[in-house]
Structure 1
C-alpha cells in the first residue's frame, strides 16, 4: 500500500508538472501577444548588436534620444570590422550589423540572406579617408604602387575596394594589381607604421588623419572622395527572414535610426559631440572617448540614411571587373530597401 501511494503521488506530481509546463507555454504566447499590443505592435522588442569602442552608433543615439522606445538594444560586444559585423547577422549571433556596401554586395553575391535597410556612414567634405605617403616618396602614381605595401584596417572592406578601384581606373592589369600588397594594420598605428617605413602607404581618416597632418611630413596620394565624391559608403543589414517576420520591429528600427541620423546632420556639431560623450560616459564600458571630440559629420549622403542605386551599382560593377560575378547577375536597385525609411517620400 505504501509503495502504491508513493507511485500515485509520483504520477500526480508528473501530471501537475506537465500541466504547469503546458500552461506556462500558453501563458508565454499570450504574454507575447499582449506585449505586442502594449509595445506598438512590435513583434520583437529587443535587438542584439555589436558596438565600437569609443564611438556611438546611430541606433545607440536613437535609443538615447528616445526615438527607439519601446524597442531596446542589447549590446553583446564590439565588432572588429564591418565584414565580421554583417557575418554575425548571417549566423544569427546578432540581429543587425553594418558594413561597407562593397562587402555587403560580396556577401549577397554568395547568396547571404540579408537586406540593407539604411545607410550609416559615408564620405563628404568633412569626413573622408586619405591614402598617404611620406613627403619625398618616389610613389607619385598608381603604377608606382606595384611591388609596394599599403596599410589597411581590414581586408574585404572599404579600404581594399577603394584602393583597387584606384588601381583599376589607372589602367593596371589584374597581374599588376596582385603585386600591390595590402597589410592589415590597426588604424591607431597606421601613421607610425608609415613613418617607420614598414609600409609605403598608410590609410588615414578622421582624427588619426588630422593628427598626422598636424605633425606634417605626409601627403595624400589619393582619397576616397577624389574617386567617388560625396556618397554613403556603408549600410545596416537585417536578415531577410527577420524583416518578413517582423515588419513592425524593422520599421521602428529604421525610423528611429533615420531620425537619429537627421538629428546628427542638423544639430550643431558641439551639441552632437556633447551628446556622444554623455552616452559613452553613462554606458560604463571603460572606454576612451577622446576621439569623439574630433567628430565632424555623419558623412551620409541621403536624408535619414536613404540608400541610392549607385551606392550599390558601383560595387556590383567592381565585382564584375574582378570576375567575382557575371555581368547582369546582380542589380544595385534590387539589393536594398528604403521601404521602412520615413524620409523615402522626401527623396
Structure 2
C-alpha cells in the first residue's frame, strides 16, 4: 500500500532505511565491544510504563552475569532495530516486516527470538467510536487511521484488511495512516482528531474498560495466532559474543514461558515492581490490563512463515526484490537453548 503522501514517505524511508555509511558504521561498531571483542553488558531501548521481555528475564535472574543497560526509550520498532544495526544499541526489536526491509537494505542483522505477537489476549485492534458511521473497509476511504509508526505492523495489517475487502490500489491510497504516539491514540480518537485508532495490549484494554469504542477489525481476526516481531542482533555481535547471544536469547525464551505459565496477577505484580524499582517516574496503572505477550511458538522460536508473509507483502509493493532475500536467511534459532521446565 502506498504511503499517504510524499512527506510521510520521506519520514518513513528516513526511519526505516539505512544508508551504506550507516551499515558500514554498524559493521565497525555494533555490539558495544571492548578491545577484547567480548561484552557482558547489553545496551537497549525500553518502553515507558511497560516491561520488555529482556527486562523481565533480568529480574527473574535468567540473564546470569549478563547485564542490561537502558539508554532511553524507543520511538518505534524500525527505529529500535536501526539503532541495533548501527551499533547504538546491542539489540532491538521490531515487526518482522520491518526486519525484512532493513535486512534487504543491507543491514547486518539476524533475528534471534520472537518477542510479541497476536493471540486471543494480545492483539492489535482498529477502533472507532461507538457511534462512528465506519462499518466496513470501504468506509475508510478518506479517513485518518492513527498508529504508532508508518511502515510497520499496524500499516501492514491495515493494508491486508483493505486488500482482502476488495479495495483497489487507488482507493487504498485514499486511506490516510498517521503517526500518533500510542499513549495519545485513545485521546485522539475520542477527540475526533483521527477516525480510527490502532490500540493493542494494555492500552486497548484500558480504552475498552472506559467504553465508547468498538473494533472495526483486529489483526488476530485477520491472521489468527502468530508471532509478529523479533529481537535482532548484528552478525558482528553474534560472531564476537556467541556466549552472550545464547544467554540473552535463552533468557528471553525462558521469560516468555514464565509469563505464559504464571498466573496473570503474579505477572502483573512482578512487572509493577520492576517499573517501580527502576525509578523513572512512570505510571504503572496500565499494567493491570496486561494479559499476554502473544508469542505463538514455544520459547519464541522462529519459523520461515513468520517472515515469508511479509516478504511476499513487501515484494508485491516493490518495496523489496523477492528473489534477493530468503526467509531462512533472516533468522537463527541456534542460540535458543530453552528446555521445557528450565524457566521455573
TM-score by length of 2: 0.85
Confirm or deny: 8 A CA contact 1:43 1:248 kept in the other structure.
Answer: no
What residue ranges of structure 1 are gaps of 5+ in the alignment?
1-30, 34-41
- 1:183 equivalent to 2:188? Answer no
Equivalent position of 1:15 in the other structure: none
After superposition, give the CA deviation of every residue in 1:123-173 in whole Å (9 maximum; x if it has no partner). Answer: 111111111122343322222212111111111221111111111222323
Q: Which moved more, 1:269-278 or 1:201-210?
A: 201-210
Aligned length in residues: 308
Please state how far the C-alpha of 1:344 moved relative to its aligned partner: 8.2
What residue ranges of structure 2 are gaps of 5+ in the alignment?
1-33
- 1:166 equivalent to 2:161? Answer yes
Equivalent position of 1:65 in the other structure: 60
Equivalent position of 2:110 in the other structure: 115
- 1:295 equivalent to 2:290? Answer yes
Confirm or deny: 8 A CA contact 2:39 2:241 kept in the other structure.
Answer: yes
- 1:106 equivalent to 2:115? Answer no
* Bigger Cα Rg: 1
Confirm or deny: 8 A CA contact 1:303 1:343 kept in the other structure.
Answer: no
Equivalent position of 1:154 in the other structure: 149
- 1:47 equivalent to 2:42? Answer yes
Distance in 2 (alpha carbons) for counterparts of 1:93 and 1:292: 29
Distance in 2 (alpha carbons) for counterparts of 1:293 and 1:139: 30
Equivalent position of 1:313 in the other structure: 308
Q: How does 1:1-347 map to 2 (within 5 A)?
A: 43-343=38-338
Q: Which moved more, 1:96-105 or 1:179-188?
A: 179-188
Equivalent position of 1:20 in the other structure: none
Structure 1 outlier segments of 4+, above 6 Å = none
Confirm or deny: 8 A CA contact 1:141 1:221 kept in the other structure.
Answer: yes
Distance in 2 (alpha carbons) for counterparts of 1:332 and 1:169: 24
Distance in 2 (alpha carbons) for counterparts of 1:279 and 1:215: 26
Distance in 1 (alpha carbons) for counterparts of 2:168 and 2:315: 15
Confirm or deny: 8 A CA contact 2:117 2:229 kept in the other structure.
Answer: yes
Please state how far the C-alpha of 1:242 moved relative to its aligned partner: 1.0
Please state how far the C-alpha of 1:214 moved relative to its aligned partner: 3.1
After superposition, give the CA deviation of every residue in 1:299-335 in whole Å (9 maximum; x if it has no partner). Answer: 1111111112111111101101111123333222221
Distance in 2 (alpha carbons) for counterparts of 1:65 and 1:193: 37
Please state how far the C-alpha of 1:228 moved relative to its aligned partner: 0.9
Distance in 2 (alpha carbons) for counterparts of 1:255 and 1:173: 44
Confirm or deny: 8 A CA contact 2:96 2:307 kept in the other structure.
Answer: yes
Confirm or deny: 8 A CA contact 2:206 2:286 kept in the other structure.
Answer: no
- SS of 2:229's equivalent in the other structure is strand
Distance in 1 (alpha carbons) for counterparts of 2:263 and 2:340: 26
Distance in 2 (alpha carbons) for counterparts of 1:283 and 1:153: 25
